[in-house]
Amino acid sequence: MAGIVLKRVFEDLKGVLLQLTSDEYFKESSNLFGATIGQHVRHSLEMFQCLMQGYEGGIVNYDDRKRDKAIEADLTVALNTLQDILDSIDLQDKNLIIQARFGADDLMQVKSSYYRELIYNMEHTIHHMALIRVGIRELTDISVPAEFGVAPSTVQYKKQCAQ
């Protein structure tokens, strides 16, 4: 079910990451309020890791991310993590419980499904890719594809407007 769109999003991200130097990946961006491209990549990938880790037990809590510094600091680790996710994401749809904590005593739980969460994480990754694009523009001379960090619905809308 990962589908063509999710794989395209990850391939676009991978293609841009392969153009970066380690220094560019790890350098703080003033336009991103001191965050790095690597931090945005790590955050996006860890959302998928949380989803897949919670899949078997049926409970996903995105607040419980590892926040693995190796993913945000080492471009090779990030690329390997991205590939690991792509290689293992094709799972059957099933019902899930999503947990979120909004304070010490405020645990919320909502019903969802694996496919719905894949869509959420894909959209979330595209949002972070838009931020990564801002960092790339500030820190590097590389160019990114026109659709990098743009939601598929926006791409489609722009195509319709052009006709």
Give the pair of three-digit tokens for residue 110.
Answer: 């909502």
pTM: 0.91
pLDDT for res 1: 52
Between the CA of residue 139 and those of 15, 39, 129, what are the distances in Å? 17, 14, 15
CATH of residue 73's domain is 1.20.120
Rounded CA separation 39/74 (Å): 11
pLDDT tens, 44-86?
Answer: 999 999 999 999 999 999 998 999 999 999 999 999 999 999 9
pLDDT tens, 98-151?
Answer: 999 887 788 999 999 999 999 999 999 999 999 999 999 999 999 998 888 988
Name the domain count of the chain. Answer: 1
pLDDT for res 106: 87
pLDDT for res 3: 67
pLDDT tens, 151-161?
Answer: 877 767 777 78
Print the domain residue range for 59. 3-162
